Amino acid sequence: MTNIYISEKLKNACPDIVLGCIQADVSLKKIDEKLFEEIKIFCRQINESTYMEQIANMPEIIDAREAYKRLGKSPSRYRVSSEALLRRVVQGKGLYQINNVVDINNLVSLKSRYSVGTYDLDKLKPPISFTVGGEGQTYKGIGKEMVNIENMPVFADSEGNFGGPTSDSERAMITMNTSKILMNIISFSGDKGIEGYINYASELLVKYAEGKEIKTSIAR
């Protein structure tokens, strides 16, 4: 299992930070209709039961927003991805169908209300840390221009920063050539529900991505 070290700087600013980590061998599929039907059903449930105003009052979103404030970032300008996904669903826009692994990532995020990042493990060079972006640091976001990650929670390996709770970089993104993944469930709310969501994500990977050699850990 690839270990992830949480830096003291990030732990001091966000003492309740916990990572649920899943490593697996997977088989990529561009479209999995059964998976996406499961996602559409859950999105419909959210859309019918949740108002936009409720999202900012969800405990997991409150804790993430407070963490960003402590790091000096505006949580309205730099939303965690779970909040952005929930807002999109409540607006009735649904989710894009990307591939089975990214779609699983998004479903786990919607269910848990935690940001989830999934990376191509073969593109990462340990050691891997979860830390705070340095002054002036940026990276090329997926489908975006350069993303400002100064004072943001960010994953880094020996080659530099590659992802975080708001936006991931292109360097370690999942592609149709990916065969090994590292999925990180990012909680700013302690270990509340983390083990259950690790198990849920693992089950989805087995069911929809032929997940094998699954290893899990919790980083604090």
CATH number at residue 200: 3.50.40.10
Question: What's the domain count of the chain?
Answer: 1
d(CA 58, CA 209): 30
Q: What band does 198 get if pLDDT is binned at 50, 70 and 90?
A: very high
Give the mean pLDDT of the chain: 97
Q: What is the CA radius of gyration of the chain?
A: 16
d(CA 15, CA 2): 22
Q: At 14, which amino acid appears?
A: C
The structure's pTM equals: 0.97
Q: What band does 209 get if pLDDT is binned at 50, 70 and 90?
A: very high
Segment holding 132, helix H or strand E: strand 128-132
Which residue is associated with the tokens 């050539």?
A: 177
Q: What band does 75 get if pLDDT is binned at 50, 70 and 90?
A: confident
Domain that holds residue 45: 4-219
d(CA 215, CA 21): 8
pLDDT over 90 (residue 195)? yes
pLDDT for residue 188:
98
d(CA 119, CA 73): 24
Q: Enumerate the β-bridge partners of residue 218.
A: 20
- Number of other CB atoms surrounding residue 160 within 10 Å: 12
pLDDT for residue 9:
96
Q: What band does 22 get if pLDDT is binned at 50, 70 and 90?
A: very high
Contacts of 150 (CB under 8 A, 6+ apart): 133, 134, 135, 136, 137, 138
Picking from 40, 190, 191, 176, the residue whose alpha carbon sits closest to that of residue 100 is 176
Q: What percent of the chain has pLDDT over 70?
A: 100
Digit-coded pLDDT (tens) for 90-130: 999 989 999 999 999 999 999 999 999 999 999 999 999 99
pLDDT over 90 (residue 143)? no
pLDDT for residue 118:
99
pLDDT for residue 56:
95
Q: What band does 48 get if pLDDT is binned at 50, 70 and 90?
A: very high
pLDDT for residue 55:
98
What is the Cβ-side half-sphere exposure of residue 39, based on CA atoms within 13 angstroms?
29
Pairing mode, if any, of strands 4-6 and 128-132? Answer: parallel
Mean pLDDT along residues 51-67: 97
Q: How far is CA 148 from the centre of its chain?
A: 17
pLDDT for residue 73:
92
Segment holding 212, helix H or strand E: strand 212-219
Mean pLDDT along residues 22-33: 98
Q: What percent of the chain has pLDDT over 90?
A: 95
Q: At 66, which amino acid appears?
A: E
pLDDT for residue 144:
82
What is the Cβ-side half-sphere exposure of residue 91, based on CA atoms within 13 angstroms?
8
